[in-house]
Amino acid sequence: MSATQTAPKPRGRQFFANPGPTNIPDSVLLACAHQTVDFNDSNFIEVYDACVAGLKRVLKTEQTVFLYTGSGHAAWEASLVNLLSTGDTVLILESGHFSISWGKMAQDLGIEVQSVAADWRRGVDMAAVRAALAADTARTIKAVCVVHNETATGMMIPVPEVRAALDAAGHPALLLADTISSLGSLDFRMDEWGVDAAVGGSQKGLMLPTGMSFTGVSAKALEAHKSSKLPKHYFHWTNMLQRPLKSFLGTVPVSFFYGLQESLRLIEQEEGLENVFARHSRLARAVRAAVQHWSGNNGPQLFCLNPGRYSDSVTAVLMPEGLNADALRQVALKRFNLSLGGGLGPLGGKVFRIGHLGDLNEPMILGTLATVELAMQVAGVPHTPGGIAAAIASLAAA
């Protein structure tokens, strides 16, 4: 093919294996394509109320939910500006790119950031969290921020252990949990785990387009909100409570709610939330079985070295030393129309990520894994061939 010729347009479906945004089920896409309605119309309010109730069931909370037109970053910001004042300290449990980004946001908002450093391949040491809380005898830490599922490294951080650390220290700080890439994929229990603000987004486990996010908010957090002094307007929970829908300043993005109604129906009625978790776990184990198999012959390996914390929604794969993950991703994308996630922050070029959350089944996972193996062969990446057989064995035994 000469340089002036354009590459042929690939046929067939793109296999989309990014860890967010994720595949949108056809029925959700169709539901989103709803004609405009007045958001104060009683027919819409019925849909809206049902969606908020459903979101609460998925968050496992009976407390308050506020929603925002904006991606997950908007809900991150809402959780900080509604609960804190300039000069307050937050304790960030480092887990990877997303924990760092949330911390940077806090810093830009005038919040002091204290971090519990962590080996990203093993995850934060809870003893270090307990020590940081115990050392804070002046109680300057107002909130602890944890990313439940660190999408950049493929690691799940056990939120109940963070709660236990706070309780053991008798520390009154609020517990903020980012559940953007875990909600609707991994078990998350806002009320039982004593989470004060749970941050979620539309485009990952909830299988919706990008652009809506929300926070579950505890009664304790609503109380703390009353004395928070950081500037806010669009995100202001008090302003929201005065609106008819008790959320959203301005126009409500109605199409999201028709989509959310359908995705909640798929999650809760067609499949069942616990079955959704079981499916994610089953598919995740197959992905890890393939990667562990490939790792022989100096092949790529699981980035996460802590089996108790493997993420069931995303797997980060560390390339062999000296090989570029993005070159492999380009082969997968350009030649085989498989889209994989790239490495984020300092992991750029070093890892690629296989998203296995949302609207996925065994054939899709096997197709993705087979194509990764194909791309490795084409790109000359060393590995032990036969990862697919390992994945099949894992799925057959599941």
Ligand X SMILES: *Cc1c(COP(=O)(O)O)cnc(C)c1O
Task: Please report whether residue 95 would count as binding ligand X according to CB under 6 A.
Answer: no
What percentage of the chain's residues is helix, strand, coil (to nearest 5)? 40, 15, 40
Q: Is 347 in the site for ligand X (CB under 6 A)?
A: no
Q: Is 235 in the site for ligand X (CB under 6 A)?
A: no
Structure tokens at 244: 């008819």
Residue 358 is a binding residue for ligand X (CB under 6 A): no
H or E segment to which residue 280 belongs:
helix 273-294
Nearer to ligand X, 73 or 265 (CB): 73
The interface mask with ligand X, positions 171-200, x = CB under 6 A, is -------x-xx-------------------
Strand partners, 69: 212
Under the binding rule (CB under 6 A), the answer on residue 98 touching ligand X is yes
Binding mask 268-307 for ligand X (x = CB under 6 A): ----------------------------------------
Q: Which is nearer to ligand X, 78 or 116 (CB)?
A: 78
Decide if 81 contacts 233 (C-beta within 8 A): no
Of the residues 18, 22, 64, 71, which one makes contact with ligand X according to CB under 6 A: 71
Q: Please, which residue, 206 or 254, has the CB nearer to ligand X?
A: 206
User: For ligand X, which is the closer residue by CB, 72 or 216?
Assistant: 72
Q: For residues 192 and 174, what is the distance between their CA atoms, to the nearest angstrom?
A: 15
209 is a contact residue toward ligand X (CB under 6 A): no
Measured CA to CA, the distance from residue 141 to residue 134 in angstroms comes to 11
Residue 9 identity: K
At closest approach, how far in Å is the CB of 149 from ligand X? Answer: 6
CA-based nearest residue to 195, from 168, 166, 226, 152: 166
Is 201 a binding residue for ligand X by CB under 6 A? The answer is yes
Alpha carbon 327 to chain centroid, angstroms: 25
Contact code string over 118-157 relative to ligand X, x by CB under 6 A: -----------------------------x-x-x------
How near is the Cβ of 236 to ligand X at its closest, in Å? 20
Q: How many residues bind ligand X (CB under 6 A)?
A: 13
Least distance to ligand X, CB of residue 280, Å: 14
DSSP element (H, E) containing 141: strand 141-147
Which of 25, 54, 72, 205 touches ligand X (CB under 6 A)? 72
Structural Rg of the chain based on CA atoms: 22
Nearer to ligand X among residue 155 and residue 165 (C-beta): 155
Kindly report the number of other CB atoms within 10 A of residue 194's CB atom: 19
| Residue 73 sits in the site that holds ligand X (CB under 6 A) | yes
CB 57 within 8 A of CB 184: no
Strand order of the β-sheet with 15-17 is 15-17, 338-342, 351-355, 314-318, 301-302
Quick one: which of 17, 18, 20, 236 contacts ligand X (CB under 6 A)? 20
Helix (H) and strand (E) counts in the chain: 13, 14
Nearest-angstrom CA–CA distance, 350 and 177:
27
- As measured in angstroms, the least distance from the Cβ of 318 to ligand X is 19
Between 98 and 214, whose beta carbon lies closer to ligand X?
98
Transcribe 331-357 into DSSP letters. Answer: HHHHHH-EEEEEP-GGGTTTEEEEE--
- The residues of the shown chain that bind ligand X, judged by CB under 6 A, are 20, 71-73, 98, 147, 149, 151, 178, 180-181, 201, 210
